[in-house]
Amino acid sequence: KGEYENELKQILGDTRAAFDISEHDTLVFGQNGLLVAGANARHHEPILCSYISFCAIDNFCRNFFVRLYLLLDDMNLLRKTMEAADLDPNVIVKVNAAQMKLSRELTMMEEILAYQLESLETVEIPPEPPEQAGRTLYERLQLHAYRSQILNRTKDMKKNLGGARH
């Protein structure tokens, strides 16, 4: 609520929280990202890079989840079309084409999910820094918990994809 509030809102969106991580450094969480400002901000780059990697994977995970449910809706629509096959003799050709399309999409989504799991395993979480400012930032970002949450959601999506495949 200060002099630079509008400038920060243009970059970060609505601010959710702000923390002093040291006497000279500040961490600001916004709707569209985060800002670390201060004299020692560059020293925290490895931690921030890990956090941003998890944010990107998380964002992808959310979009993937939406796409998965669109696929499941298409499958339900196809099932209803198959149940009404006695009303239209041309429905068999339409159903076969739709089933092939959905099968290809499902296969692609399974491959993409495997890549997502692989990327979660390759993102390195740096060790906790020795200085107090780095430790405070490390605690605020909760990298291990963030990775665990994304991993659990990815495993759930894998189960949903398996159910869709059956």
**Rounded Cα distance, 138 and 128, in Å:** 7
pLDDT of residue 40: 82
Residue 143: which residues within 8 A CB-CB, separation 6 or more?
Answer: 47, 50, 51, 54, 125
Q: Which two tokens stand for residue 46?
A: 């490895």
pLDDT digits (tens, 9 = 90+) for 80-127: 988 887 888 788 888 899 999 999 999 999 999 999 999 998 888 999
User: Does the predicted TM-score (pTM) go above 0.85?
Assistant: no
Residue 2 dihedral angles phi and psi, to the nearest 5°: -120, -160
**H-helix or E-strand spanning residue 27:** strand 25-30
CB 136 within 8 A of CB 44: no
CB atoms within 10 A of CB 7: 9
Residue 7 pLDDT more than 80?
A: yes
Taken in order 58, 63, 66, 70, is the CA torsion positive or negative?
Answer: negative
CA distances to 33, 41, 133, 162 from 22, rounded to whole Å, are 20, 10, 5, 47
pLDDT of residue 6: 85
pLDDT digits (tens, 9 = 90+) for 18-75: 888 888 888 888 888 888 888 888 888 899 889 989 999 999 999 999 999 999 999 9
**Rounded Cα distance, 53 and 135, in Å:** 19
